[in-house]
Amino acid sequence: MHPSNLIRALLQGRSGPRAGGVSGAEAVVRRGVLCAGVLMLATGCTSDDEAAARTDSIVAAPAVGSRPAVGTPPGAVDRAGARPGAVRVLGAAGSDCELVGMWRACSVEDRFVRAGLAPQRVDTAPEVPAEAAEAWRYWLGDAEVQVYLFADERARAEAERTLGDAIGEPPLLEAARGAQRAHVSSGNLLAVVYGPRPRQVERITLTLSAALPAG
């Protein structure tokens, strides 16, 4: 019986009709039981069922650090929050992307993500020059970066020599139109950067200027 029910029963017994009275010994027993019940209630004593329930809830509680780590998958992209016609690049490169030797699209995006530039890959790539292998367009805040990847460093240098400023095209991003233009040469990569804020342009060029480690 729960202590509160025991105390209620004892109190009812004291206040109810007494046919033949209560002996001194019985009164002493009742007072002792009543005091014990009050003490049990004050100390928060619970029934066996309640104690078991509390024990089960403690056992079921997850241990600290038992939840799996939640992170962004490598190379993950998401259109939510991106400008129309682009995707946000959320994760750095995965193990299948070699971050040594020649630049690849995944290593460019890895560099942008790790630099905290919040890149958005644009669906419409710039026109690929005949000398280049592939081209990509990125929006980084109010700056646009056009990335051209060549077969090797020699092919990139030859394209720079013959094409010069003809590499690159007017930016699609409205904020970058008519803005400062800069270019970066790094290994087999050539990037053309348009941005209205000099410090942002400098930050982007510095991010791509450091070549990847030799393979």
Same domain, 86 and 188: yes
Q: With respect to residue 67, please indicate whether it lies within any of the assigned structural domains.
A: no
Number of structural domains in the chain:
2
Q: Which residues contact 65 (CB under 8 A, 6 or more apart)?
A: none
Same domain, 154 and 91: yes
pTM: 0.66
Same domain, 110 and 161: yes
Helix, strand and coil in the chain, % to nearest 5: 40, 15, 45
Q: With respect to residue 68, please indicate whether it lies within any of the assigned structural domains.
A: no
What's the rounded Cα separation, in Å, for the pair 43 and 27? 24
What's the rounded Cα separation, in Å, for the pair 174 and 199? 19
Classify residue 211 by burial, with Cβ atoms within 10 Å: 0-12, 13-18, 19+: middle
pLDDT for residue 10 = 46
Dihedral of the alpha carbons of 164, 170, 175, 179, in degrees to the nearest 10: 40
Same domain, 47 and 81: no
Q: With respect to residue 214, please indicate whether it lies within any of the assigned structural domains.
A: no
pLDDT for residue 215 = 72
Same domain, 30 and 134: no
Range of the domain at 37: 3-60
Q: With respect to residue 72, please indicate whether it lies within any of the assigned structural domains.
A: no
Same domain, 42 and 108: no
Q: Are 144 and 136 in contact (CB under 8 A)?
A: no
Q: With respect to residue 71, please indicate whether it lies within any of the assigned structural domains.
A: no
Same domain, 19 and 85: no
Q: With respect to residue 87, please indicate whether it lies within any of the assigned structural domains.
A: yes
Nearest to 142 by CA among 199, 206, 194: 194
Q: With respect to residue 27, please indicate whether it lies within any of the assigned structural domains.
A: yes
Same domain, 87 and 139: yes
* Mean pLDDT per 10-residue segment, the chain (215 residues): 52 49 50 48 47 39 35 80 95 89 95 96 92 94 97 94 92 96 96 97 96 87
Q: With respect to residue 197, please indicate whether it lies within any of the assigned structural domains.
A: yes
Same domain, 89 and 149: yes
Same domain, 111 and 142: yes
Same domain, 19 and 94: no
pLDDT for residue 105 = 94
What's the rounded Cα separation, in Å, for the pair 196 and 15? 90
